[in-house]
């Protein structure tokens, strides 16, 4: 099996998570400046087998796409064009940042560490990827 990448796309920074090769566990991989994201993904895929890319889809409480989709949609199109053999899967990311903050508190992280926005992005990407893995398990 190959790994699955999870992405919490942001206008400035993007959190990235990855599964193990058996797709059992998701872990934070990195937080990168968004303008370098495509190059980061290409470099990663050149070194590791990747089966799919899961991207958080920001939605409002009523299920409608949020304003952030206008930034994410062009990136998704570019990603699909550059890597046509790797499926890109959109997953609802509602509340992932809040859940990431709570996970940091529950994990005993100091306030100064919790204020590092890049850390929150990477944890949110991990949550998005874990949610996808759980939904995939339910389907099988």
> Whole-angstrom Cα distance, residue 109 to residue 64?
33
Residue 93 sits in a domain of what CATH number? 3.30.420.140
Mean pLDDT calculated for residue range 124-135: 89
Query: In which band, very low, low, confident or very high, does the pLDDT at 131 lie, cut at 50, 70 and 90?
Result: confident
Mean pLDDT calculated for residue range 68-75: 88
> Whole-angstrom Cα distance, residue 110 to residue 115?
9
The whole-number pLDDT of residue 135 equals 82
Range of 104's domain?
3-139
Convert the pLDDT of each residue in 97-127 to its tens digit: 555 545 555 556 565 654 555 567 888 899 8
Q: For the chain, how many structural domains are there in total?
A: 1
Residue with tokens 């889809």: 57
User: Strands 3-8 and 50-57, how do they pair?
Assistant: parallel
């Amino acid at each position: 099996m190959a790994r699955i990448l999870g992405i919490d796309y942001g206008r400035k920074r993007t959190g990235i998570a990855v599964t193990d090769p058996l797709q059992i566990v998701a872990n934070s991989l990195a937080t990168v400046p968004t303008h370098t994201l495509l190059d980061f993904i290409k470099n990663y895929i050149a070194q590791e087998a990747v089966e799919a890319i899961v991207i958080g889809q920001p939605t409002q409480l009523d299920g409608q796409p949020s304003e952030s989709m206008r930034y994410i949609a062009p990136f998704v199109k570019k990603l699909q064009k550059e890597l046509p053999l790797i499926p890109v899967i959109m997953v609802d990311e509602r509340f992932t940042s809040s859940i990431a903050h709570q996970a940091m508190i529950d994990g005993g992280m100091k306030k100064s560490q919790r204020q590092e926005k890049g850390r929150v992005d990477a944890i949110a990407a991990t949550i998005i990827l874990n949610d996808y893995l759980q939904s995939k398990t339910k389907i099988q």
